[in-house]
Amino acid sequence: MFGLRQHHVIGMFAGALLGLVASGLGSVLGLALAPNDGFFWGAVIGGLIAGMPQFAQAGAVLTGNENRTWNALVGIVGGLVFIGVIAALAILVLKLFF
């Protein structure tokens, strides 16, 4: 399914359930939390945690370092920078031609 491995899907599912529970608990405590937001962000965080070994591997390619924590952080930031550059290029092309 779109390059996702089984542990990614399990992490996203578990995170979605925990996010749903957390948003329900927040609503009981008087916080204005939407269950859909808790479900979505729980799945995002669960998928991110499940993908940490791949982020560490990508960061190791960029840094050449053995520190897994540092490599995972560099891998996540590198991915965000890459997505930001692609989004900026898309916006630039849309503004130039449309």
Question: What tens digit of pLDDT does each residue of 46-83 get?
Answer: 999 999 999 999 999 989 888 999 999 999 999 999 99
Please say if the pLDDT value at position 3 is more than 70.
no
Q: Is 32 helix (H, G, I), strand (E, B) or coil?
A: coil
82-97 mean pLDDT: 94
Banded pLDDT at 43 (limits 50, 70, 90): very high
Among candidates 87, 83, 4, which has minimal Cα distance to 43?
A: 4
The pLDDT > 90 percentage for the chain reads: 56
Non-local CB neighbours of 1 within 8 Å, separated by 6+ positions: 9
**pLDDT of 24:** 86
| pLDDT value of position 60 | 93
For residue 50, give both structure tokens.
């499940």
The encoded tokens of residue 10 equal 């399990």
What's this model's pTM, rounded to 2 decimal places? 0.72
